[in-house]
A and B are shown apart, each in its own frame.
Chain A
Amino acid sequence: MKTIKAIIASLALFSMFAGTAAQAKVEIQWWHAFGGRLGELLDEQVNKFNASQDKYTVVHTRKGNYSETLNAGIAAFRAGQHPNILMVFEVGTASLMAAKGAYVPMYQLMKDAGQRFNPKGFVSAVSGYYTTTDGKMLSMPYNSSTPVLWVNKDLMKKAGLDPEMDLSTWKRVGNALDAAKAKGIDMPFCTCWHSWVHLENFSAYHNIPFATKSNGFAGLDTELAFNSPVHIKHIQTLGKWAQEGKFKYMGRRNEAGKNFRAGECMLMTESSAGYAGIKKEAKFEFGIRHLPYYGATEAPQNTIIGGSSLWALSGKSKEENKATAAFLAFLSRTDIQAKWHQDTGYLGVTTAAASATKKSGFYKSNPGTDLAGIQMMRNKVTQNSKGLRLGSFDQIRGIIDEEMEGVYNGTKTAQVALDSAVKRGNVLLRRFERANK
């Protein structure tokens, strides 16, 4: 009996020591997709947080591009080796939302940790993307951007064009491209993220549905709808430009950014967050314009966001969740957000950060950097311009990518390609609906 008591006592003693040891510092893992300049800025944020307090340490790891990061996170979750915080790009949002039990919802995380957190402080056009229909915020918006038109003013001059000319409609852009081609400019137009810019944002901007059921916000039984005459007209135009050598397709992601920064491409549609790299590398005068639209429709609606939010994955200890909550609250601080917005060209995701930036005079000294924000919030959002919430959307984008490539290389008409993309995408939506009902 005595020996048993001694064992229990020593165990208790041991666990006390173990307890004090654990009180050292709580370490949490953050997996993300940022390299290059953005990676440096992210590292800066993490270091600042680690230095600002002595209870928690955040360790960040880059897991590849957006898709690779999401897949690494999902695979790690299945193996029970997942990080505390996972960066998920907007395309993966529906997949995460449907996986109830894989994450701790943001409102819950903050409440459990006793962290002061005001979801109303976020710009609604951004936070709406990550909030359930009954108003519960599930993940924390991290970086959000929207597509704009980037102009190489030096090449415009070389093409004999006024670098400040009106480029608000696709028709005017087309005229500028004609002039550039005639003057021997090798790459008059290029684009990054072609599905995101030329179909997803195009739909919202022209206030037409990308998918039924409010682009998927109203239910899993949504169907794709981006094969309307307006969509077809635009993609056919891109195809025609590609055939005529006015538009050079460089790849599905942001490959074309390299060509623009190197001064080869005259006009580029790319995220407003191209700003960080362009500002650093461009050896020419550049300008930022609103995304063009078709004049036949009334004034454009609003564009939607791209970018990522941070999800707190489930299955972690209370202590670690507290650390996660503290770090996420830190990231939403006004000074951090304002700096991020000004350094990167991502939108200021809290209203306080946006107004702080305005007050500092940043927009005045960096003309064009406020366009993305204006473009996103110019109108009251409609069913078609809230955003997208579609399952398996990463794969559907892959389908859209390859069908649109068929239009650019001339093997398909826009009608055939978009009809086929809708049909194939719907098969995946039904499969997703079935796996997640």
Chain B
Amino acid sequence: MEKRVFFKGWWLPAILVAPQLLISFVFFFYPSGQAIWNSLFLPDPFGLKTEFVGLDNFRFLLSDPYYLASFKTTVIFSTAVSVSSMALGLYLAALADRLIKGAGVYQTLLIWPYAIAPAIAGVLWLFMFNGNIGLASYYLKALGYEWNHTLKGDQAMFLVILASSWGRISYNFLFFLAGLQAIPKSIIEAAAIDGASFWKRFGTIVIPLLSPITFFLLVVNIVYAFFDTFGVIHTITSGGPEQSTTILVYKVFSDGFVSQDLGSSAAQSVILLVLVGILTVIQFKYIERKVHY
């Protein structure tokens, strides 16, 4: 049974929802409308003249094999970033949850990387793997492994995934730790008395009870991997080599702000908007069913 509250009249509810509507309009509907409008034009970089081209920007994009390839790159990248950062976050949270001494210190240190902006994180990792001066590439070379992410696509992909996941591990750690601590100790203890091993308890009690948080983190991490990682990619690889690390949002950024092709960039934003909309519907419709609140 759901509880429903009814307001008398319309002005009070209208005032109460107004701030949210206003924010949605200013930060979502207005820019989205602008993107859709701009996707129909071909302006020159300086904004001196513009031409209505209808759907030509979309035709231009969809006939570009590199654009189509970036869908696949995006799937690989987003999956790798979400899965690796969530798995490591959960692992560290499970360890930290069992700590008796010094838990505060470990937790603080593990949360630290989250405070670092993506672009800066990118530069840090780039330094370590730099072909000229990087420590990591130096040791890899000593081990006989040739590191050159400016030329090798798989290495470049590995590096951007590493740099993008790093800060997210902290974020996921934080939520998983809170989730673990919210699980009543009595349930775990009861299972232990019944003779269930650690892994048995973890698999049958902890994971299901963590499912709301896991679902939340899945959505948030995918959104992060889709939208917030272009700083990392820009600083480390600029989408190369051979566009092997050009994910959709990076292409929006680079075509719009680096190449000054605003028409194409707007068209890509529209495609991305539709795509993420579909993805979110799928997540809530099919995955959320398996979540126990």
Contacts and interface: CB of A to CB of B under 8 A. Distances in A.
A97 B152 CA distance: 37
Nearest to B146: A245
A435 B131 contact: no
A78 B258 CA distance: 14
A262 B184 CA distance: 61
A100 B49 CA distance: 10
A405 B151 contact: yes
A71 B46 contact: no
Contact of B150 (A250, A394, A403): A250
A101 B43 CA distance: 15
A101 B42 contact: no
B46 to A, nearest CB: 5
Given A74-B46, A250-B131, A405 B242 contact: yes
A426 interface: no
Contact of B48 (A101, A259, A434): A101
A397 to B, nearest CB: 11
Interface in A408-426: 408-409, 411, 424
B241 interface: yes
B43 A255 contact: no
Contacts of A248: 148
B243 interface: yes
B51 interface: yes
Contact of A99 (B48, B151, B153): B48
B89 to A, nearest CB: 34
Interface in A104-128: none
A74 B45 contact: yes
Interface in A383-437: 392, 394-395, 398, 401-403, 405-406, 408-409, 411, 424, 427, 431, 434-436
Contact of B257 (A71, A252, A394): A71
A409 B151 contact: yes
B226 to A, nearest CB: 23
A262 B152 CA distance: 24
Nearest to B42: A435
B132 interface: yes
Q: Range of interface residues on chain B?
A: 20 to 34
Nearest to A412: B242
B259 A406 contact: no
Contact of A78 (B46, B133, B151): B46
A102 interface: yes
Interface residues of A, number: 39
A95 interface: yes
Contact of B242 (A98, A258, A403): A403
Contacts of B43: 435
B138 to A, nearest CB: 13
Contacts of A402: 240-243
A102 B132 contact: no
Nearest to A432: B44
B60 interface: yes
Contacts of A78: 46-47
Contacts of A74: 45-46, 260
A401 B150 contact: no
Interface in B237-293: 240-243, 257-261
Contacts of B150: 249-252, 255, 405
Nearest to B132: A258
A77 interface: yes
Given A101-B48, A406-B241, 4 more contacts: A74-B45, A74-B260, A405-B151, A424-B66
Closest 10 pairs between A and B when the two form their complex, measured CB to CB? A405-B241, A78-B47, A402-B242, A99-B46, A102-B46, A395-B259, A409-B151, A435-B44, A258-B132, A251-B150
25 contacts: A71-B258, A74-B45, A74-B260, A75-B257, A75-B260, A78-B47, A99-B44, A100-B48, A101-B46, A102-B48, A249-B150, A249-B151, A252-B150, A255-B132, A392-B259, A398-B259, A401-B240, A405-B151, A409-B151, A424-B64, A427-B64, A431-B261, A434-B42, A434-B51, A435-B42
